[in-house]
């Protein structure tokens, strides 16, 4: 999951960054590959109070600072760190192959990374085995971030799942690419033709959202979601764990979560974990 501080959460002067948990590939950025049972302070890679976003993938992590610098660490066998090589890195190191553009957001998939620059351009690196880099004729992996063509639309939000990715544009259109959800869909919806955006290896517009304007997109392991300017949440993909708030096992087209699920309140923010969603209104709701 990704964490971004709100405007009201200004970091105190003594703020520090901590990491703990699984660390087989150095994804904690502590300089070693031993698991860490208790929170341990990270030092010296950047000023902790300047951290804007923190996110992680299958075995790699990424941090964006308030000046748009990107730091990465961890598993790198497919080039998901975007450093030009495939060696694992156990400490946060700057990713400099970004066309000189400050970074707004980064999303880590299982073995790939999607990057959004402040001018609305989307880059990708890592494994492309399922078309998750959004470059249909590209190599099986890319060790340096490359630009994704999104029909000249300015992108304002990105998300990455197990083997698929999404982008929301300034005009409210949602694009999806990567075939990660297709196998799940074919298994749960036998004989049904899936929409193109489930099987596309380049950005494909998500149909079924034409009458809404997306403000942000989210991705779990095998599901996707978007939050609209009207405070509505649309979901699609796997519902194996009940994360889509419906009885269907799989949603091949976006479906709005009914307002009564949120006591008819407008949703102001949504977050996605691997197999669950969290929504915020005046209250906080968990769906897992």
**Tens-place pLDDT, residues 183-223:** 889 988 888 889 999 999 999 999 999 999 999 999 999 99
* Residue 257 sits in the same domain as residue 161: yes
Distance separating alpha carbons of residues 86 and 78, to the nearest angstrom: 6
User: Does some domain include residue 18?
Assistant: no
What is d(CA 137, CA 250) in angstroms, rounded to the nearest whole number? 29
CATH number at residue 205: 2.130.10.30
Helix and strand numbers (H, E) in the chain are 1, 21
Residue 27 CB: number of other CB atoms within 10 A? 26
Same domain, residue pair 166 and 269: yes
232-269 b/e (C-beta count within 10 Å ≥ 16 → b): bbbbbbbbebebbbeeeebbbebbbbeeeebeebebee
Are 194 and 132 within one domain?
no
Tell me: do 212 and 260 sit in the same domain. Answer: yes
Residue where a domain terminates, one of 86, 116, 148: 148
Residue 288's pLDDT band, with cuts at 50, 70 and 90, is low
28-44 pLDDT per residue, tens: 999 999 999 999 999 87
Residues 242 and 213 in one domain: yes
Backbone angles phi, psi at 188, to 5 degrees: -90, -20
Q: In terms of domains, do 284 and 165 share one?
A: yes
Task: Give strand pairing partners of 63.
Answer: 54, 71
Specify the higher pLDDT residue, 59 or 5.
59
Residue 14: pLDDT above 60?
A: no
One domain, residues 90 and 161:
no
Task: List the domain range (segments joined by +) for residue 273.
Answer: 154-288
Q: Are residues 123 and 232 in the same domain?
A: no
Examine the fold and report which residue of 148, 181, 212 is the final residue of a domain before the chain moves on. 148
Residues 269 and 173 in one domain: yes
Cβ neighbours, 10 Å, residue 154? 12
């Amino acid at each position: 999951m990704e964490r971004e501080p709100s405007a009201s959460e200004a970091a105190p002067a003594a703020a520090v960054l901590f990491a703990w948990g699984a660390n087989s590939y150095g994804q904690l950025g502590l300089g070693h590959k031993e698991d860490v049972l208790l929170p341990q302070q990270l030092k010296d890679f950047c000023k902790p109070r300047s951290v804007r976003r923190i996110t992680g993938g299958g075995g790699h992590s990424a941090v964006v600072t308030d000046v748009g610098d990107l730091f990465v660490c961890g598993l790198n066998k497919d080039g998901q760190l975007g450093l030009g090589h495939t060696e694992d890195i156990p400490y946060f190191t700057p990713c400099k192959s970004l066309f000189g553009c400050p970074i707004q957001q980064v999303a880590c998939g299982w073995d790939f990374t999607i990057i959004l620059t402040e001018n609305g351009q989307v880059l990708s690196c890592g494994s492309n085995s399922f078309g998750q880099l959004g470059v249909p004729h590209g190599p099986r992996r890319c060790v340096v971030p490359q630009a994704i063509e999104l029909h000249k639309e300015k992108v304002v939000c990105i998300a990455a799942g197990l083997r698929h990715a999404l982008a929301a544009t300034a005009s409210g259109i949602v694009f999806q690419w990567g075939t990660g959800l297709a196998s799940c869909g074919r298994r749960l919806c036998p004989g049904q033709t899936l929409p193109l955006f489930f099987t596309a290896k380049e950005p494909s517009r998500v149909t079924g959202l034409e009458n809404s304007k997306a403000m942000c997109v989210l991705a779990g392991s095998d599901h996707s979601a978007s939050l609209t300017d009207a405070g509505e949440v649309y979901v699609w993909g796997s519902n194996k764990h009940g994360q889509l708030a419906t009885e269907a096992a799989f949603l091949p087209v976006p479906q709005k979560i009914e307002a009564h699920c949120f006591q008819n309140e407008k949703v102001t923010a949504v977050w996605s974990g691997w197999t669950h969603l969290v929504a915020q209104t005046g209250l906080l709701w968990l769906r897992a």
